[in-house]
Amino acid sequence: MLPDFELSCSEFESAGLTLTPELYKKLDTYAEFLIEYNNNVNLTAITDPAEVLRKHFIDSILLSKYAKIPQNAAVIDIGTGAGFPSVPLKLYRPDISITLLDSLNKRIVFLQQLCDKLEISADFIHGRAENISKKPEYREKFDISCARAVANMSLLSELCIPFVTVGGLFLAMKGPSENVSCGTNAVELLGGQITDTAEYDLFDEKRRIVIVKKISQTPTKYPRNSSQIKKRSL
C-alpha cells in the first residue's frame, strides 16, 4: 500500500528520521486500513499512499524531532480524527502512552480497531474536549497535549492546555499562514507560555509547531462551555 521500503526510507531520511522494517510494516498496515475504512467513513481527504506517508505519517512523527517529548510521556491527542499525530508517534516512540480524544464516536470505533491491528495500547475518549477536561481524572494529568487542527491558536489553547500538568507541554501543529501571536493572551490566561515555534519544510509545504509550556494551573473557569467559546475568543 505504501511506496516500497527503499523509497519510504528515502522519504524518512530526507526529513531527518529513521524508518526500520518493523515500523514500515506497521505504517503499511495503518495506511491500508485507513484507506479501506475511508470508503465508508470519511476520515481523511488524503488517500494517495505517497501522500499518506508524507502528510500524515512523517508529519506526525516530526513532532518528536522538533519538540522534546520526555521518555514515557503521557500524551493526549485532542480531536485526533484518524489518529494523527499520536498513533504514528506511538509507533515511532513506543515508550509513550497515548490517549485519543474525538467528538465523533465513528472515529473512536475506527481507532479502536486500528490499534488492535497495530497491536498497540491506547486509551479512547468519545466526547468534547471542553467537557472532558473538566473531569478530575483528565484535568492536568498529561505531560503532553497535542492537536493537529485548523482551529485558531486561541481556541486550540482553551481546549488543550487544561489537560496538561504544570511543567508539561501543549504542542500545536499549524500551517504557515496563521498569526499565532493572536493566541498569546489565551495561552497566558490558561497558565501557559509560548516558549518556541519550530518552523520546518514538509517536502514542498511549510509547517510550524507552536510549543507552549504549562507554567501554572489553569483557572477552574476554563475551558468555557462550547457556546461561550464560539461567541468570543479569549
DSSP conformation letters of 20-44: -HHHHHHHHHHHHHHHHHTTTS---
Phi, psi at 165, each rounded to 5°: -70, 155
pLDDT at residue 224, rounded to an integer: 94
Mean pLDDT computed over 134-163? 94
What's the pLDDT at 130? 96
Q: What is the pLDDT of residue 179?
A: 83
Residue 149's pLDDT band (cuts 50, 70, 90): confident
Within 10 angstroms of residue 162's Cβ, the number of other Cβ atoms is: 27
Residues 121/150, Cβ–Cβ less than 8 Å: no
Residue 38, pLDDT score = 96
CATH code, domain carrying 180: 3.40.50.150
CB 177 within 8 A of CB 134: no
d(CA 58, CA 152): 23
Q: Which secondary structure element, helix H or strand E, spans residue 109, and what is its range?
A: helix 105-118
* For the chain, percent of residues with pLDDT exceeding 90: 89
Nearest C-alpha neighbor of 133 from the set 156, 159, 166: 159
Write out pLDDT tens, residues 29-68: 999 999 999 999 999 999 999 999 999 999 999 999 999 9
Beta-strand relationship, 97-102 and 142-148: unpaired
* pLDDT number for residue 56: 97
Q: What is the pLDDT of residue 223?
A: 97
- Confidence at residue 83, expressed as pLDDT on a 0 to 100 scale: 97
Per-residue pLDDT tens for 170-222?
Answer: 999 998 888 888 899 999 999 999 999 999 999 888 999 999 999 999 999 99
- 20-25 contact pairs (CB < 8 A, 24+): 23/91, 23/92
Residue 150 has pLDDT above 80, yes or no: no
Provide the whole-model pTM. 0.96
Helix (H) or strand (E) holding 112: helix 105-118
CB atoms within 10 A of CB 134: 14
Count of domains forming the chain: 1
* Structural domain boundaries, residue 96: 5-231
pLDDT, position 181: 85
Type of residue numbered 97: S
What is the per-residue pLDDT for 188?
97
pLDDT in tens, 95-132: 999 999 999 999 999 999 999 999 999 999 999 999 99
User: Is the Cβ–Cβ distance between 173 and 148 less than 8 Å?
Assistant: yes
Residues in the chain: 234
| C-beta of residue 209 within 8 angstroms of C-beta of residue 119 | no
Helix (H), strand (E), coil (C) string for 159-186? HHHHHEEEEEEEEEEECCCCCHHHHHHH
Task: Note the pLDDT of residue 151.
Answer: 84
CB atoms within 10 A of CB 91: 20
